[in-house]
Structure 1
């Protein structure tokens, strides 16, 4: 049975949020009008192009039906609604932890120290978006009766060659973004700082992609349908980065107010997250998503690698 209600509700929510933000902030309307061509080419064209390539490759060379059956088997025995509740608590814990650590750093006037701020951001993600969710969902048995502990192996151990075809749309999306941006912004100079920040961002991406795609989206797909799960997870992803803006070195919205930034997130973080979600549902390979995020990260923030993120 095809379930469209989740997709329709998620799209309607995104449109409503954007509409309210534009009505409440004329400056946002002016920003969109002034930068519409760049916004389209950077935020919307790569996800559309990459998603189309992923669809073609899966249709021609993939075995998504068989992979979906493996996912269904992995979810068997999971109390999905209860687990979604645990995941929501973990996400709340992450937000509270990072905000608290940031305020402590500010009190001691160390928030300007990139190394300390990045370490706090990474530690919060590692604990609340990776370690605790894996313990609760798939290993400890707290919410599980002992069946269906194979999801981590599926997500992070893609052994079938066709599941690495996702690198083709990744290269296409990164290439298109680079074609638009590099002539204007250039590329970052190779340095030990660049390597360190890229490694930190790679670790952040692993935590987030395991949490948002492997855990949250997979469960929402079961409840809301494939595209409902993709869109609902993407909305959540955009909201989280909006809330993180005042506290996180890896979040980069202008900080012009919650409504303004959330509206802007609907035009930037949301389409990127839709591509992450679609790649996940096609290939179920976390490493494809992580490589895409690293590639976009390098292109979009070449002059401030320590303070921004895609």
Structure 2
């Protein structure tokens, strides 16, 4: 069994009603921020690493993700009277077991998107260590860490505190899936949907992400171990990121 021991400081929510209003409102605002960033990418793209996918555009990586989904929510969190350590430094009952569990979750994430491997192997001669590092660090810093901290650790925890586990998981999953809509609606043209086609984006992105959100929400509710979620999330995004760097179309 994976167990995590928390101090009172790490589990206490100071003002759940006020904080849910603040972070819930921010989740709604964030959808608008993504909408704006998507329009900026469409009209004034700043692609990085030679990639064509919007997920590797400066507007998306730096502004939409690192600034607006990581830095600002953490700033608000700390401004509410919490120490950053209460968000990040968990006390494990067994560091060895949890290290193994984290590695297993990372491996599981990699296996989920193993279907990219045949196409990646075809161009394996073009892969270098820098590509591998970027493919790990970009999803980690711009997706796994900010999304799991905001939507699970911060938002879901406060919804659960007020309305219970089921509603917490369900509502945080809705918020998690909805922020993916604007970017795909304006920019996608692959298996995640066709730009301008609401139904294709809903079926290709929003619904699958909602299901993924439910799974991540269940894992957070059960283990309260964000490192497992971050490892799983980073593993899932690794091969798609590497494929984008290699110019592989999905």
The answer as to whether partners of 1:221 and 1:230 remain within 8 angstroms in 2 is yes
Correspondence 1:156 to 2:88:
yes
Correspondence 1:235 to 2:170:
no
For 1:52-85, what per-residue CA distance to the aligned partner results, in whole angstroms no more than 9, with x for missing partners? Answer: xxxxx24xxx25xx64966551x12342343234
**Structure 1 Cα separation of the partners of residues 31 and 207 of structure 2:** 24
Correspondence 1:181 to 2:128:
no
Bigger Rg over Cα: 1
Question: Normalized against structure 2, the TM-score is what?
Answer: 0.73
The answer as to whether partners of 1:94 and 1:129 remain within 8 angstroms in 2 is no
The answer for unaligned runs of 5 or more in structure 2 is none
Partner residue, 1:291: 231
Identify which of 175, 193, 201 aligns with 2:131. 193
The answer for unaligned runs of 5 or more in structure 1 is 1-56
Partner residue, 2:33: 94
**Structure 2 Cα separation of the partners of residues 169 and 129 of structure 1:** 27
**Structure 2 Cα separation of the partners of residues 80 and 224 of structure 1:** 14
User: 1:173 Cα shift?
Assistant: 2.8
Aligned-pair RMSD on alpha carbons? 3.6
User: 1:170 Cα shift?
Assistant: 0.9
Residue 158 to residue 242, structure 1, CA distance change in 2 (3 Å): same
Partner residue, 1:269: 209
**Structure 2 Cα separation of the partners of residues 224 and 68 of structure 1:** 23
Residue pairs, 1:75-154, within 5 angstroms:
75-78=13-16, 79-88=18-27, 90-106=29-45, 114=51, 117-124=56-63, 125-136=65-76, 138-140=77-79, 144=80, 146=81, 149-150=82-83, 152-154=84-86
The answer as to whether partners of 1:174 and 1:295 remain within 8 angstroms in 2 is yes
**Structure 2 Cα separation of the partners of residues 263 and 285 of structure 1:** 30
How many residue pairs were aligned? 233
Q: Secondary structure, in 3 states, of the residue corresponding to 2:75?
A: helix
The answer as to whether partners of 2:105 and 2:228 remain within 8 angstroms in 1 is yes
**Structure 2 Cα separation of the partners of residues 237 and 81 of structure 1:** 15
Partner residue, 1:15: none
The answer as to whether partners of 2:193 and 2:205 remain within 8 angstroms in 1 is no
The answer as to whether partners of 2:191 and 2:204 remain within 8 angstroms in 1 is no
Partner residue, 1:209: 148
